[in-house]
Amino acid sequence: MKRLLPDLRATLPVKMAGWFVFFWLAVCVLNKVWPLPTLYPDGPATVVVSKDGEILRSFGDRQGVHRYNVTLGDVDPFYIQALLNYEDRWFYWHPGFNPVSVIRAAWQWASNGHVVSGGSTLTMQVARLIDPHARSIAGKLKQLWRALQLEWYYSKDEILTFYLNLAPFGGNIAGVEAASRRYFNTSAGHLTKNEAALLVVLPQKPSLYRPDRYPHTAQAMRNKVLDRLNNSGLLGDQATAYLKQEAVELKRSDNKTLAPLLSRMLREQYPDRHVIQTTLDGVIQQRVARLLTKVKRQLPVHSSAAVLVVDNPTGNVLAYQGSVDFQDNSRFAHVDMIQAVRSPGSTLKPFIYGMAIDRGIIHTESLLSDIPTRFSDYKPQNLNARFQGAVSASDALKQSLNVPLIQVFHALTPEVFDQGLRQAGVQLQHQQANLTVGLGGTGTNLLTLAAMYRSLVSEGKYSALNMVSDHQTAPASEKRLLSAESGWMVFHTLSAISAPDRVVPRVRREVAWKTGTSYGYRDFWSVGVSANYTVAVWVGRPDSSPVVGYLGATQAAPIMFDVFDQLPEDNRRVNQPATVKRRLICWPGGRAKSVTEEASCAYQKYAFTRNGLTPPTLESHGDFVVSDRWPEALRVWQQHKGRVTPELSDQAPSDQKQPETGIRIMSVNNGQHYYLSQIDAIILKSNKKSAEVFWYVNHQPFHDRQLNLTHYQGELTLTACQGLQCDKKVIVVHR
């Protein structure tokens, strides 16, 4: 006997280890055969909220269940305390099931022949919610297994969070946050004690305890929870008695669905998210929605409107109203006109002028020719079919004249403009860039236009706008669209335009704004930018049918200014860059008065310039007027109209022009300025076959067809020769 005891003591640890290995292998096999199911088998029930957590729109899961997922920190601590006290006091100590409760439930089953009470812990309730089972012994064993799996994979706080978000609260509502908002119009973090007590017991029998259907039953069950809390010492006698006297009081929210089209887009973009927090300001969004309700009454049938409000310092979208009324299908309400690609009309003009300033083609008071002009096979017309003759660049922009714009655009070239936009991240919708792009012969949307106009008060920098506020989405990168100087000049010019006839604004602010009307009267735009906000408005018919007689200035602009009235005061200023210099210039030459002879200075004007640069005046077709004289086509037109054009001593006769049959450099204009921050290479192109042309740079042979500007600074002479004929252009390169 004595010899056997040492042997048993020696083999016992080995046997225990063997049993442990066997048990471990059995658990692994079971876990492989019956893995833990997904926590949300019917997909997420997505809630789209404002930046302050206000629900904009709720989407049910595949079973139509709505929930609003929260963390433990989002829920009122008293509710957590009451829940654990009433449902599972030993939650943080048991392994997923309470052995005492399980034994009691088994004894009741054996005594009564059926299940009387389940003895379920919170972990077991989560297990039943993610994998429902029948009320049977087999079902209970399955539930126990799932509870053990949950305890193995997740922490106690994570399991408790699952319960907070999965527990049923009646109808198609799940989770304590959705229930709090549904029944009490508050968040789960701001529940009263009575509200918390009712929500503790409601998941036990949600269809029978619903306070909106059975208020007396709900009150009785709530009082049962209060008594339990009193017995546990969590509530005093006086407080309990006082709380039990209160009737169940429901509070319904009167808020309608806000930003429904944005919510729909974001849910499609983030299909796996439970909560999508947007950058929208709930108050501003409601104000914009109410404003468009009034606007709807003034619109013709089948017409809609869209409004976008942007916070300029952050690039966050504060209001997003994609249609005039989401419930009105006669107005194609489900079409998001903020995202819809449409013709922008004249809204791109400010950026054409801005890029022309950046490339040394014009300054703000450059002399332009508003006269009948044909550019190859394109002959633009002003909206009023009239011409003014000599006009400054700033006045041409403020009056939205088409012919001077195309004159500048032709000198800039559509290709350079398109390249500048793409480098900044702006992609217009057209097959090939041409002059019609300047007047709306392309496609874009309200979102892109708002981001472009925001650059005017963001030192010329462009970035995509933010609509989602979280740490999972990388912030949009900023790229240069315009220089800080040209951005300010365009802003200064557009802010001088008088607002349409309207009542005195609630908040006086400096707003730079531009309107646009697409060809055929199909789209009406107005985009305005102040120091703090950008407001973009579209009006029209989503099916692209025309609304004859409408204009962007008469339809979209008043709405835009009304939206500005809904916004807080600006707390910033748009400061003039130190590199924007005010210079006295002369017409017709366009150059600074200090470098213009007195006899050649017919008119004097103050112009804003970039670093004091005053490029000469443009001829109608794009070349600079080298001497200080009137552009020939403008001089002839004004004489024909009987307008006085001061004669200048150096006015060159028209017969001294270079014949069209000779070689001409096509890729640059004489006197054009290039900034390396904007462009670092240019293509050398003439009107002759490249094989027959010899190129010279600063009078030295040049054999490539692309000139790298980073190797040069200051004046640069380009010469192209074919046989005995040559053409020469002088450009200026700035570092």
Q: Which residues are catalytic?
A: 87, 346
Half-sphere exposure (Cβ direction) of 727: Cα atoms closer than 13 Å: 24
User: Can you tell me the distance from the alpha carbon of 282 to that of 265, in angstroms, rounded to the nearest whole number?
Assistant: 18
Contact at 8 Å (CB) between 181 and 253? yes
Report helix, strand or coil for 358: helix
**What is the number of residues in the chain?**
735
Contact at 8 Å (CB) between 605 and 365? yes
Helix (H) or strand (E) holding 725: strand 725-734
Q: Which of 679, 316, 353, 623 is nearest to 485 (CA)?
A: 353
Contact at 8 Å (CB) between 140 and 106? no
Helix (H) or strand (E) holding 559: helix 557-564
**Ranges of H-type helices in 565-607:** none
Name the CA dihedral angle for 595, 600, 605, 609, rounded to a multiple of 10 degrees. -30
Q: Which of 148, 143, 141, 144 is nearest to 128 (CA)?
A: 143
Report helix, strand or coil for 595: helix
User: Can you tell me the distance from the alpha carbon of 138 to that of 140, in angstroms, rounded to the nearest whole number?
Assistant: 5
Contact at 8 Å (CB) between 323 and 291? no
User: Both tokens of residue 269?
Assistant: 């973009």
**Secondary structure, 3-state, 425-438:** CCCCCCCCCCHHHH
User: Can you tell me the distance from the alpha carbon of 517 to that of 521, in angstroms, rounded to the nearest whole number?
Assistant: 6
User: Can you tell me the distance from the alpha carbon of 682 to that of 594, in angstroms, rounded to the nearest whole number?
Assistant: 31
User: Can you tell me the distance from the alpha carbon of 710 to that of 731, in angstroms, rounded to the nearest whole number?
Assistant: 14
User: Can you tell me the distance from the alpha carbon of 343 to that of 429, in angstroms, rounded to the nearest whole number?
Assistant: 9
User: Can you tell me the distance from the alpha carbon of 623 to that of 665, in angstroms, rounded to the nearest whole number?
Assistant: 11
User: Both tokens of residue 447?
Assistant: 């979102």
Cα Rg of the chain (Å, integer):
37
Residue matched to tokens 């909106």: 212
**Secondary structure, 3-state, 374-391:** CECCECCCCCCCCCCEEE
User: Can you tell me the distance from the alpha carbon of 3 to that of 192, in angstroms, rounded to the nearest whole number?
Assistant: 71
User: Both tokens of residue 436?
Assistant: 């019609």
Helix (H) or strand (E) holding 21: helix 4-33
Is the backbone peptide bond immediately before 588 cis, with ω within 30 degrees of 0?
yes
User: Both tokens of residue 536?
Assistant: 């973009």
Report helix, strand or coil for 259: coil
Degrees to nearest 5, angle at CA 142 with 141 and 145 = 90
Contact at 8 Å (CB) between 206 and 169? yes
Contact at 8 Å (CB) between 284 and 319? yes
Helix (H) or strand (E) holding 243: helix 237-245
User: Can you tell me the distance from the alpha carbon of 528 to that of 579, in angstroms, rounded to the nearest whole number?
Assistant: 25
Backbone angles phi, psi at 299, to 5 degrees: -90, 150
Backbone angles phi, psi at 197, to 5 degrees: -65, -40
Contacts of 122 (CB under 8 A, 6+ apart): 83, 84, 87, 88, 91, 159, 160, 163
